[in-house]
Amino acid sequence: MLDTARIRQDFPILSRKVNGVPLVYLDNAATSQKPRSVIRALVDYYERYNSNVHRGVHTLSMEATDAMEEARQKVADFVNAESPSCIIWTRNTTEALNLVAQGWAMEHVAAGERIVTTAMEHHSNLVPWQRVARERGAELRILPLAEDGALDLSDVNSIIDTRTRLVTAVHVSNSLGTINPVKALAARAKEVGAAFLVDGAQSVPHMPVDVQDIGCDFMAFSGHKMLGPTGIGVLYARREALERMEPFLVGGEMVLQVSYEDATWNDLPMRFEAGTPNVADAIGMGAAVDYLNGLGMDRVREHEIQITGYALDAFGEIEDLDVFGPADPEKRGGVIPFHTTEVHAHDFGTVLDRRGIAVRTGHHCTMPLMETLGVAATARASFYVYNTEEEVDVLVDAVKEAMRYFLDGSR
């Protein structure tokens, strides 16, 4: 098991107080906190070797280039990519997904063909496909939700058919916690000759992820949700997929030869990284990967199953409170969305904040899913490596108190 007491000492922010009480940070699906080693890597870069990369022959530039490329290698190894040239730096998951939409789908999806996504996607993995479908005259199909918060795959073979060019799915839902069977979806996509894209924003930070084992062509994820800095994300792409992709930003860094009339593209991965990259935050993301590797991703996942199971049991005992997503903690990530008709999600958020507890409230950028669930909003607690069962107790007490308060008030 993870030694949460020791881990917590690595995160300076966890010792602060909010509204006079210790912070209980349970908004990790939105963004995670950062360990000292990540903060130090950023400061170290700016204090010792801040420089532009891939251009200078001077020492600082070479040091910065080496550090950024080392971070790329670390990220590649972290998800078992074939090569660091399959790792493209982006700003975040959203940009990585849009890169596939603009660079790949706009090129390869034709009128009358199909793109398939799921009913539980974050807007970032839905809206880009709506646009591609509209502009290319393609059809967007949705894999529906089953009763238990999993995907209903009973019609998967007719929804993903031979006219499908791209299948995409979130690996772990940020609104339900559901872990989707991405390996099976990859196999079906392959059967019909479609590309397969995984939104790994909520999986890569929380469990061992192996892109080759899954068999995906693309995977998108963000540094800030995995103990790294904001402003840095990743698109993993298989080499063959990258070679069939067009850059959607053009300019410096991404070219090989330029004349007044024309230009040729640089090698991979630089072809997709126009302009000065986010050197500092890429290096910071490398430090975050080091930290997670130090804990061991198997143990990170184990901790999450344990704390999620504990929270599900405790929430299960609260009358009139609905918890969405699969009942089995083995089948979900550390995300607990809860809802009651008695208390508005935002009121939960406010009352919990008074107790120092940070949770997310709202639609979590999954408005169509909220409609399917028949709710306007949920409150959501989400866990990470530093969260403890004691913090779950504080949360559960505060939720009970809020329900008592609003129920009494409404009588």
Q: Which of residues 151-190 bind ligand 7TS (CB under 6 A)?
A: 170, 174
Find the catalytic residue in 62, 365, 367, 376.
Answer: 365
Q: How far is CA 69 from CA 76, 85, 266, 283, 324, in A?
A: 10, 10, 16, 9, 41
Cα–Cα dist 34/284, whole Å = 10
Stretch of 102-110, 120-128, 276-284, 287-295 lying at the interface with ligand 7TS (CB under 6 A)? 120-128
Q: Which is nearer to ligand 7TS, 33 or 65 (CB)?
A: 33
- Shortest distance (Å) from residue 245 CB to ligand 7TS: 19
Q: Tell me how far apart the 2 most distant CA atoms of the chain are, in Å.
A: 76
- Under a CB-based contact definition with an 8 Å cutoff, are residues 360 and 393 in contact? no
Q: Which is nearer to ligand 7TS, 220 or 307 (CB)?
A: 220
Q: Which of residues 363-382 bind ligand 7TS (CB under 6 A)?
A: 364-365
Q: Which of residues 323-362 bind ligand 7TS (CB under 6 A)?
A: 360
Tokens of 18: 């909010």
CA neighbor of 116 nearest in space, from 215, 204, 178, 195: 195
The answer to whether residue 222 forms part of the interface with ligand 7TS (CB under 6 A) is yes
DSSP state for residue 173 in the 8-state scheme: -
Where do the H-state alpha helices sit in 11-108?
A: 36-44, 59-78, 93-99, 106-108
Is 216 marked active-site? no
Phi, psi of 76 (to 5 degrees): -60, -50
* H helix or E strand, kind and range, residue 264: strand 263-265
Q: How far is CA 182 from CA 26, 34, 147, 151, 193, in A?
A: 26, 29, 19, 11, 16
- Shortest distance (Å) from residue 124 CB to ligand 7TS: 4
- Shortest distance (Å) from residue 141 CB to ligand 7TS: 19
Residue from 2, 7, 26, 29 in contact with ligand 7TS (CB under 6 A): 29
Dihedral sign of CA atoms 343, 349, 350, 353 in order = positive
Residue from 7, 67, 81, 201 in contact with ligand 7TS (CB under 6 A): 201
Q: Which is nearer to ligand 7TS, 54 or 171 (CB)?
A: 171
Spell out, one character per residue from 75 to 104, where the chain touches ligand 7TS: x when CB under 6 A holds, - when not.
-----------------xxx----------
Q: Which of residues 30-49 bind ligand 7TS (CB under 6 A)?
A: 30
Q: Which is nearer to ligand 7TS, 49 or 383 (CB)?
A: 383
Residue from 202, 340, 361, 388 in contact with ligand 7TS (CB under 6 A): 202
- Under a CB-based contact definition with an 8 Å cutoff, are residues 345 and 362 in contact? yes
Q: Which is nearer to ligand 7TS, 282 or 403 (CB)?
A: 282
- Shortest distance (Å) from residue 175 CB to ligand 7TS: 7
- Under a CB-based contact definition with an 8 Å cutoff, are residues 222 and 201 in contact? yes
As annotated, the active-site residues are 365
- Interaction site with ligand 7TS (CB under 6 A): 29-30, 92-94, 122, 124-125, 170, 174, 199, 201-202, 222, 360, 364-365
